[in-house]
Amino acid sequence: MTCERIEELLSAFLEGELGQAEKALVESHLAGCPDCTALLAVLSRTQQALADFPELDVSPGLKARLAAIPEQKKKFSFSFDFVLKPSLQPVFAAATIFMTLLSFYLFNPDKKNIDRAIDQKIHSGYSQVEKLYAKTGSFTDRLGDTADNVFVSVKNWKVFGGNEDPTYK
C-alpha cells in the first residue's frame, strides 16, 4: 500500500472504523513507514486540538438583539400595511395601466414607427392650433373694423348732430 492510500485511511483508523483486513494493512504499513507514523501522531493531536476548542457564551448584548428580532419584524411588516388599504386600489390600478401602456410602448419592436406617428400627430395638432389662432386673429381684426364703422355711422346720424353723408343713404 502507498502512503497516499494510507493517508486516506488514517482518520478511519484513528476512529476505529476500519475492518480487520484494512486495519492490519495500515498497521503493517505504519510499522515500516516513519513518515506515516509521524503523520498519524500529528493527526491525532490535530483532532484533540479541535475537540478542545471551548464553546463560547453568547454576550448579553447579542442575546438582547436576538430577542428583539420578532418585534422588529412586526414593525417592519406594519410599515407596509398601507399597501393593502382599499382606498389606494384605484391609484394602484391606474399605475398598473399606465405601466402596462408604457411597457407596450418601451418594449415594442416597432417603437420607431410609433415615435414617428406620435411626432406627426403632435405636429399636425400644432399646425391646426396655429391655423385656428390665425383665423381668430383675422376675425378679431374684422370685428374691430366693423365696430369702428358702426361707431362712425352712428356718430354721423343727425339725431346726434352729425353731418349725415347723403351718399350713405
Quick one: 68 or 97, whose CB is closer to other proteins? 68
Give yes or no for a contact between 148 and 156, defined as CB atoms under 8 angstroms apart. no
Nearer Cβ to other proteins, position 49 or 83?
49
120-124: long-range pairs with CB below 8 Å, 24+: none
Cβ nearer to other proteins, comparing 59 with 167: 59
Report the nearest approach of other proteins to the CB of residue 16 (Å): 13
Compute the least distance from the CB of residue 81 to other proteins, in Å.
17
Q: Which three cell numbers stand for residue 63?
A: 442575546
CA gyration radius for the chain? 50
The residues binding other proteins (CB under 8 A) are: 7-8, 10-12, 38-39, 42-43, 45-59, 61-63, 65-67, 69-70, 73
Q: How far is the CB of 98 from other proteins (least distance, A)?
A: 32
Cell 406620435 identifies what position? 118
Nearest CA-CA partner of 45 in 2, 9, 10, 20: 10
